[in-house]
Structure formats: C-alpha cells, structure tokens
Structure 1
C-alpha cells in the first residue's frame, strides 16, 4: 500500500485544534454494527426450518439447534483469536485500514452465509458468518477502543465505555431489523423464509454503515495531549507513565491475572444470559405464582430485552465510574457484589420474589457489561497506551474461552439437576452457586494485581516519560 494512500495511518492524523469528541461517533458506527452478533438468536428458528418451512415442525433434513449453536460459537472464538492475531498489525497500520478490513469481513460474512442458506450448506454458513464474520468482529472490536484511549488518556474509562456500549447495544438494532427484513422478504416470496435475502440486505447495510467510522476516524499526533493534562500516577500506583509492548505484556503476571479476571466475569455473566428466558419462566411459573400469574414467553422476552439494556448501560456507567474509583476497585465491586447477588438468585426464585429477582439480575448484567468496557482502561493503566490495542486483542482470548466454557458449564449443571428431579428455581441452584465460585477466583486474581515491573517497559518510552 502506497504511503500516500487514503488508508494509510499518516492520512488519519488529526491537525491542531481537532475536537476529540468527534471520534466517539466513528467508534460507535463500528461497534453498533458488529454488536449485531448478540442478536443472532433471532435467526435460529427460521434457519432450523428451511426445508419444512415450519419452525414448529422441522423436517428430518433441517438443521438442528445443536448445529446452529455452533455458528455463534465460531464467531466468538474467531473474535478473540483475530483480535489477538491482528492487534499488532492494527497498531502499525492505524484504525482506518483496520476498520475497513473489519467492515469487509463482517459484511462479507453475511454474503457468504446467504449463499450457504440458499444452497442449504451449513458449512458455508459456518465459514461465512462464523469464520469470516468472526474475523470482522475481532478487528472491529479492538480498533476503535485503541484509538479512543489515545484521545482520552485523562478519561480512559469514559472512552472505552462509549465504544463498547455500542457493541452491547448492537442487538437492540440488529434484532428488530432482522425480524422486519425476514417478514418483508418472506411475504415477497423470496424463499428460505426470507433468511437468505435478509443476510444479503444486512450485509450491505452494515458494510455501508461502517464506512462512516472508516472515513471519519482520526488519531492524535504522537505528541498530542489534552489541554492541561499531565500524566501522573501519584494517586494510583497502577497507572503507569511508561509503555509496555504487546510481546512483553504477555510475559507479565499482570496480563494473565487480568486474563483470569475477564474470563471469570464473562463466564459468570453468560450463566445468566444463557438461561435468562427459561430461568424466569420456570422459576415463576403458574404453579409457583398462581394460575394466570406466571411469567409468559412474551414477558420472558421482555425480561431478556431489559437485561440487554442493563448490559448496555452498565458498559458506560461502570467504566466511567472507574475513572474516579480506579479499575482495581471497580472490579472488586463486580466480583464482591456479584458473589452475593449470584448466590441470592436461586433463593429469590424459590421464594417467588419476582421484583427483586429482576432487579438483582439487571444489576448482575450491568456489571457483566461493565467488565468488558473497563478492561481496556485497566490494560492502559498497567501497560501504557503504545500498543494497548494489541494487548487488548490478546486478552480477548479470555472471552473466546468463556464463550465456550460458560454454556458448557450451564448446560451440564442444569441438565444434571433436572435429571435428578429438580424443577423450577431449584434446577438452577448449582448453576448460580458455581458462577459465584468462579467470581471468587476472579476476585482473588484482581486482588493480586500489582504495578508492572520496570524491566518490562520500553527503554525509549521510559526516557521520554521521564523527560
């Protein structure tokens, strides 16, 4: 690529007087798009009835729920792997080229998946939405975050919360959009219950929408800093004034402690997300609440939507609060309060305390979302901003691990409980007590985090910081 290419990092450096608050909308354009991944479940029923045409009576040759569940798992695993693999490349080429690559992969994944649906080839859907789209997810997830941290060294939590809030809210746009498009194309007689045409339309919509972020993103000059800002760790020993490279960061105990912190927080949060709808319906059925007073499927769907809202709001609230409280203290709250709330959920279910149950699970999901938004700022505190995008990318392998580990634990424990004759809230006791145990592990890992040793810092960066 020529040096004077519009995609080159040098062409995205902001000039003097540039308003840094113009950067968050560019970041949101990327995260609101790729956040559609959280809404993939709306495609499950129609994808499982492409042959029969009736989601309630699938044909023997229709794809099974197990086969369809693999699609999302592949996407999440590739998110973490691609973020880890392409993190250093992102730091070298800049956010514009990375965001363009993300948009091409994410949009292209829909196009390939549409062909897979048309040909009824599950492997093409795996490759398209899962593999290619998953790469788009990973590159797109880290590229705006790294840039925002460089623009907001004085408000790192606010910066990361603004971007990652978009990822949490992507499903609130993607879900109704997908349903509306499928209804439209199904009525138009396009075949495949409107799914293939919807994939094509959404691929094009997201590809074009993400271009706003691609072409408006800017990076600060190397010597830029906010007016009046003086880097200091006087009030928080964890905040460094130096820089650690991605290759050195993974050699530190701090990186692996934060890997455990993120993995435990996400695994536990998935425990709620994975079971939300059946959990509230089974715990507060007509048999528990009284005839006609139980939670219906429609009400459960509303509950899931409420959890998504708190997942979104928590990303901005908690990460912003961490600028005042400190990242270590904020995670101590996630885990300490989380342990109590997770352990309380089965009791509230057994006692038919519906209102408190909803409040508690909403708080849990706010901290789950907050954990995602706070971790980039935590990394920047410890390792500096030089290659924070690359370091963040490598840490996201913890998300990939949790994305597999969480559902496996939840499904195993719940299935085993039901096999032993437990029903309602009792069938979920072991799930939530186990998740509380995982949070204990996360709490210990967070407690052990200390400032990074001088030996890992870049020597030139250290000299400049001291100058």
Structure 2
C-alpha cells in the first residue's frame, strides 16, 4: 500500500506542481522534493517506532510520493535546456538515474535491516538513516543545479544548427492538454508502461513457472533473483540507450520500435511454451529495455510537440499515465495469474492471457503513436492546399 500510493502520488504531484517547477526553477523544485521525500522517510521512522502503520502510509506514500513527483520532473526539463541538440540523451540520463536508484536502494535497505533488525526499532532506524543520507546527497544536487543562459547553445548546435531536431511551437500546459497529441501520447505511455509491468510485476514467479527444473528449490530461488536483477539492469540501460538513439531516428520511430517489436516479443512468449532459456531471457531483457525507454523518450517527445516553455509542467501531467498504469498493470497481471493458479493451471499457461492483453495494449499504443503529428502554432489556421505554407508553419514532423 505505501509503495503503490507513492507511485500514484508521484503522478498526481507532478501534474499539480509541474507549472510551479517551470516558473520557479529547478533549485526551488528540488528543495521541495528533498524536503518531502526525506521528510516522508523520517515520518515513517517515527511511525515505525510508535507502531502506527497508517502513519507509514502517510509518510512514505503521500509525503514521500509528492517528493518523488516533483523531484522526477525537475532535472528532466533542466537537462533538456542544457542539451537542446540531444534532448533524448539528456532525458535518458536523468530518468536512468531514477530507475537505477533501485539498484542501490534495494540492497542498501536490506543491509540496513540486517544491521538494525526487522523489529519496530530496527525499521525505524532504517527509515531514519535512509532519510538523513538521502538528504545529504540531495542537498548537494540542490546546490549544484542551475539553468543555462537564455541564449545558450552548445558548440555542436552552434556549428550545425540544422542537424538538430527543432522543438515544436511553444504551448503552455493548459494549452497542451487540450490537444489530441497530448492524449494520444498519454495512451502510448500508459500502455507501454502497463506492458512492462506485465513482466516486472511477477518476474520471479514467471521465471520459476517457465523453468521449474533445477537441482534444488534454493537454486530456483537464486536463479529467479538473478533474473529480477537482470531485468532491473535492462530497465535502466534502456532508458539511456534507446532514448539517446531517438535523437537520431526520431521519437515516433523510437516508439514504433518499443510498441511494435514489443508486441512481437510478447507473441513469442505466448507461443513459445518450451522456449530455450537464452531466448526467454533475451525476449524479457529487450521488453524491459523498451519499458524503461518509454519513460525516458517521452519528455523529448513532448519537447518536439510543445516546445520548451512549460515542458516540465506538461511532462508532469503526462506522468498521470504512469500512475494509472502503476495501478492498472498489477491488477491485470495478478488477477489473471491468481485466477489461473486457483484453476490448477501450471507453467507458462498461467500467463498466456495476461501476455495476450499486454500484446493488445501495445498494438493500440502503436496506432495512437501513428496518429501523433506536430501541432500547429497557437492561433494559426491550417492551410488546406498550400503545402509550402504548412511546412513553414510547422518546424518539423515528429519522427
């Protein structure tokens, strides 16, 4: 419950406070984010000490979730302004950091609980230490962050201004959410995330059901844990590699890859009941790399569609798609899998219907991606016949 609520609050707080982040700047936003996130952990420490679960939900889920949302969007919009010629690479680095944090936090929190224990006092100490240590590192980020000058352009962009993809006409967040392009991209991100959760939500049980044969139950458990770690690494690496590639091939083409090839890979999982382990691992690794890439490419896609003016605020509103998928995806996967287990189904057949639904969602997202076009500048009228005029009015078609 605290974690799920934290993801929901991430999307809601990013949507609500996104405009303030753009107007007040990244340093203000990161200060608020650090205060909420670290404060939420300290509230959770107090809650564990006095044995109040509802207060852990408030501290970790609500207060910490608000910090997550504001902290998620503030570096993304800032880095795109420092790298206007490579926005995909910029957002990839920022969002890879967010996803890669799990590779640090998970073993670190486990080690802290080994040191302090898993009773109330031990959990309270774990929360407190994490809150204080995160505060130190996040404070360093607050002191270092800054925006580039208004007329800033990196040397590469100055030398070859035509080589970079031109940002779309500037729109405010309120204007952007009234366009079909925003909602088409919302569906694309929501369904791409939902499909990724289809694997990530039950990664260890999926591995055990596909490959139950091993020398011992302990060996199966260890292999499943390694599978989960491998997927986490693929998720993080996909955020930087595929997003950086989108600067060269275009955002629309990138999502064609994530969604179209992703659908084919889910079909492989459905049909290949007796798949070899290398094929199974390769399919899952690529799927999770597309899952991470969908997050990191989205801000650059928004920049191509709606410009720089309030890209952070627009990104914040788009993250409600993540919150929706964070609830929707696990419900689909767990409900169907539990139903099949109750019916006595064993092996890969437990996930056939879940994977089929994910495949269908990816195909719907693929169609939505094809319908996205760069919007006309505000207050302009689309010409009916003169394509030369249209080319002058629109900086560039996305993709």
TM-score (norm 2): 0.91
2:11 to 80, 90, 106: 80
Matching residue of 1:267: 194
Q: Distance in 2 between matches of 1:97 and 1:292?
A: 53
Give unmatched runs, 5+ long, in structure 1.
1-69
Cα shift at 1:298: 1.3
Kept in 1, the 8 Å contact 2:169–2:377? The answer is no
- Contact 1:249–1:456 (Cα < 8 Å) also in 2: no
Q: Which residue of 1 aligns with 2:173?
A: 246
Please tell me whether residue 202 in structure 1 is matched to residue 133 in structure 2. no
Kindly state the Cα deviation for residue 315 of structure 1 after the two structures are TM-superposed: 0.3
Residue in structure 1 matched with residue 328 of structure 2 by the alignment: 405
Does the residue aligned with 2:155 lie in a helix, a strand or coil?
A: coil
In structure 2, what is the equivalent of residue 165 of structure 1?
A: 96
How is 1:342-357 mapped onto 2 (pairs within 5 angstroms)? Answer: 342-348=266-272, 350-357=273-280
By relative contact order (CA 8 Å, sep 6+), the higher-ranking structure is 2
Change over 3 Å in CA distance of 1:410–1:360 after alignment to 2: same
1:219-368 → structure 2 map (5 Å cutoff): 219-227=147-155, 229=157, 239-286=166-213, 292=216, 296-348=220-272, 350-368=273-291
1:94 maps to 25
- Structure 2 gap ranges (5+): 381-391
Q: CA deviation at 1:355?
A: 1.5
Q: In 2, Cα distance between the equivalents of 1:181 and 1:292?
A: 29
In the other structure, the counterpart of 2:344 is: 421
1:152 is aligned to 2:109: no
The count of corresponding residues between Structure 1 and Structure 2 is 383
Whether 1:174 aligns to 2:102 is: no
Residue 420 of structure 1 and its aligned partner are, at CA, apart by 2.9
Q: Which residue of 2 is the match for residue 211 of structure 1?
A: 139
Partner Cα distance (2:129, 2:176) in 1: 41
CA distance, structure 2, for counterparts of residue 295 and residue 426 of structure 1? 23
TM score, norm. by length of structure 1: 0.78
Shift of 1:416: 2.1
| Cα distance in 2 for residues equivalent to 1:409 and 1:284 | 23
Task: Quote the Cα distance in structure 2 between the aligned partners of 1:442 and 1:231.
Answer: 37
Cα pair distance change 1:294/1:347, threshold 3 Å: farther
Residue 192 of structure 1: aligned partner: 120
Distance 1:283 1:391, change over 3 A: same
**Per-residue Cα deviation, 1:245-280 (whole angstroms, up to 9, x for no partner):** 111000110000000010000011011110100000
RMSD: 2.3
8 Å CA contact retained: 1:263, 1:398: yes
Local SS of the residue matching 1:229: helix
Cα distance between partner residues in 2 of 1:294 and 1:127: 37
The CA deviation string for residues 150-195 of structure 1, in whole angstroms up to 9 with x for no partner, is 1111000010011101011101110111111111112xxx942721
Report the alpha carbon displacement of residue 418 of structure 1 after superposing the two structures with TM: 2.2
Cα 1:232–1:123 change in 2 (3 A) is farther
Alpha-carbon distance change, 95 to 191 in structure 1, aligned in 2, over 3 angstroms = same
The match for 1:436 is 359
Conserved 8 A contact 1:338-1:439: yes
Superposed CA offset, 1:371-409 (max 9, x none) = 100000000011111110000000000000000000011
